[in-house]
Amino acid sequence: MKRRSFVKATAAAGTVLPLALNGMGVKTYEDSPLLRSLGRRTADGKVLVIINLSGGNDGLNTLIPLDQYSNLSKARNNILIPDNKVLSFWDKPSVGLHPQLGGLRDLYNNGQLSAIQAVGYPNPNYSHFRAADIWMSGSDSNESWTTGWMGRYLDGTYTGYPKGYPTATMPDPLAIEIGQMVSLAFMGPEVNMGMAITDPTTFYNLASGTTDPTPNTPAGNELAFLRLMAQQTNQYATVIKNAAAKGVNKSTKYPTGGRQPLSDQLKIVAKLISGGLKTPVYMVSIGGFDTHSEQVDSSDHSLGSHGNLMKQLGDAIAAFQDDLKLLGLEDRVVGMTFSEFGRRVISNASNGTDHGAAAPMFVFGKAVQNGVIGANPTIPSTVTVNDNVPMQYDFRQVYASVLTDWFELPAADVKVAMGGKEFNTLPIFKANKASIDDYIDLVSRISLNRIFPNPAVSHTQIEYFTESGNVKISLFDAMGQLVRILKDDWHGHGTYVVDLDVVGLRSGNYYVQLSQGDKRITEVLLVQ
């Protein structure tokens, strides 16, 4: 049986089952948490909420590597978060959250937060617009794609859209973005799969579109697009209005409306889900992360513009998660944050930070494996303006994990959604076979014993240990660009030494990265 047929069969069984159990009507079935959970064994009904932190979030002040604190204090003293204010994790004292992210820390304490360290991609781009396109489309750094990762996923799952939609099994929009825009992330091969709404309760009836043919010219093309938009808006307006009318919010933790856009947006999402909308993907966004100047309050570094954003983020997610729990929807919804890049390791003189490379991502919900995936970024002792956090994980590994372990998409379909590329999943979800502990306990499998001499003038040696398996040693420059691969082959159990000739390399900080599968260890090498 194909997955989709199976899903349909299960869904049909679900609607019969409650009647057989106690004679409850369909309406009651929808409102009963017990029965709702019975009907929810498949990917259908699962929801992903993507939170876009627009502008480039300062990862080093978000998920703070406390074991690097002294080097961090040298690199960014004017924006440094006092270590006694950092909200460290109860089981992981070496890393903690921004003081205003209490909402996320509570989620961690409830076992509902997965933090993934230093997510990026090879050869990072420092332009907001290119970088955002890369994150939305899922392309490599040097590619320019016109479809989005979610658009390709939805196109593969809801084949033929928009022809024939809405259908009986998918009567609702495939994706909803709260706001006036629909992102590149939802762009399918031919149409955007997303629908933008600002207020789900009010819609304006559009003139019914004519079916007259349009000419085969640019004007005709645009006209066909306009008519399609009018038609879709009318089709979906009713289902959204109904869901908004039927849906409720139960949490009292949302801040007062109209002041915190992210919280307002997530509140709408919770209401629409509770109102029965079958839409599998939502996107919400919050701007202001481009903190080139005055990102902290000079008298208290935990406050200021970035602190404000952190508070809005943490509070909004906490209220949303509380709402989902009270609504009995916790099992069905996960959230994921992303930002187009992190920021430079070193701060600037304007009490801010310039565009950078890798940064942490958060995935939250009842379905996640609680914990921190990956090691703290290594902060060099002398940091120049060029230094960036090198990536540990590719952002598309996170996407692939969502599709594989949350939406239960077969590997071949994941590959299609990823534009034909394959990415290893990470233990973000409980459904993943790997345990998060495998990623934390690195030392037992591989270790970087020493780099000597360091600083290096003409050459240096890297000594490492590994259990048997494939080992890769890569050299990145401070900007996060891959410079050289020193080793990439199978090793037996033992200690090894590899030579590195540094003649011809520009002086500055480099990162030596030892990896086995997705386990990675990074050390700084200074070339003089």
Partner 1 sequence: MDRKQFFQSLRNPSSSDQFAVNEVDETLQKDEEINGNIGLQRRTNTGISAYKGSFGKSELMHLLRRTLFGVKVSDYNLYKGKTLEQVVDALLNVPSAMPNPPINNYGNLVNDPNVPYGSTWVNAPLDPAVEPNRKNSVKSWLWSLMVTQTPDIQAKMVLFWHNHFALQFLEIPDSRACYVYTKVLYTHALGNFKDLTRAITIDPAMLFYLNGRLNTKKAPDENYARELQELFTLGKGPNSKFTEDDVKAMAKVLTGWSINPLTNPFSTAFVSVNHDSTDKQFSSFYGNTVIKGQTGINAGNTELDDLLTMIFKVDEVALFICRKLYEYFVYYEIDDTVETNVIVPLAKVFRDSGYSIKTVLKTLLMSEHFFDSWNRACVIKDPITQQAGFCREMELKFPSSTDYFLLYQMYQMGMAFGQLTQLNIGDPPNVAGWPAWYQKPLFHRSWINSDTLPKRNQFTDYLLFIGHKVGTYTMIVDPWIFVKQLSNPGKADDLIADCTSHLLPMSLSATQIASLKEVLLPGGIPDYNWSDEYRAATDPSDPNYATALSTATVKLKYLLKSIMNLSEYQLS
Q: Which chain residues interact with partner 1 by CB under 8 A?
A: 55, 126-130, 133, 144, 146, 160, 163, 179-182, 184, 187, 190, 192, 195-198, 203-207, 209-210, 212-230, 232-233, 236-237, 287, 290, 292-293, 348-350, 352, 354-355, 385-386, 479
**Phi and psi based region of residue 288 (left: phi greater than 0; alpha: psi -120 to 50; beta: remaining):** left
Residue with Cβ nearer partner 1 (176 or 379): 176
Residue with Cβ nearer partner 1 (233 or 522): 233
Residue with Cβ nearer partner 1 (419 or 453): 419
In the block, which residue shows the tokens 């825009």? 181
Quote the least distance from Cβ 454 to partner 1, whole Å.
25
Quote the least distance from Cβ 42 to partner 1, whole Å.
26
Quote the least distance from Cβ 229 to partner 1, whole Å.
5
Residue with Cβ nearer partner 1 (283 or 428): 283
Going by C-alpha positions, the residue among 170, 369, 177 that lies closest to residue 277 is 170
Beta bridge partners of 452: 461
Residue with Cβ nearer partner 1 (349 or 412): 349
Quote the least distance from Cβ 297 to partner 1, whole Å.
17
Cβ pair 370, 116 in contact under 8 A: no
Quote the least distance from Cβ 363 to partner 1, whole Å.
26
Phi, psi of 196 (to 5 degrees): -95, 130
Residue with Cβ nearer partner 1 (165 or 465): 165
Rg (CA), the chain: 24
Residue with Cβ nearer partner 1 (298 or 468): 298
What count of residues does the chain have? Answer: 528
Burial class for 78, CB neighbours closer than 10 Å (0-12, 13-18, 19+): middle
Residue with Cβ nearer partner 1 (216 or 256): 216
Omega into 427 within 30° of 0, i.e. cis?
no
CA distance 108 to 105: 5
Going by C-alpha positions, the residue among 368, 387, 369, 403 that lies closest to residue 138 is 403
Quote the least distance from Cβ 223 to partner 1, whole Å.
6
Residue with Cβ nearer partner 1 (133 or 323): 133
Quote the least distance from Cβ 218 to partner 1, whole Å.
4
Quote the least distance from Cβ 212 to partner 1, whole Å.
4
Q: How many CB atoms lie within 10 A of CB 202?
A: 10
Residue with Cβ nearer partner 1 (26 or 349): 349
Quote the least distance from Cβ 465 to partner 1, whole Å.
35
CA distance 22 to 195: 39
Phi, psi of 405 (to 5 degrees): -95, -15
Quote the least distance from Cβ 244 to partner 1, whole Å.
14
Q: HSE on the CB side for 195, CA within 13 Å?
A: 24
Beta strand 333-338 with 194-197 is unpaired
Cβ pair 305, 288 in contact under 8 A: yes
Q: Taking each helix axis from N to C terminus, what angle separates 305-326 and 261-274, rounded to the nearest 10 degrees?
A: 20
Residue with Cβ nearer partner 1 (37 or 144): 144
Quote the least distance from Cβ 518 to partner 1, whole Å.
28
Going by C-alpha positions, the residue among 356, 345, 355, 374 that lies closest to residue 513 is 374
H, E, C per residue of 346-407: CCCCCCCCCECCCEEEEEECCCECCEEECCCCCCCCCCCCCCCCCCCEEHHHHHHHHHHHHC
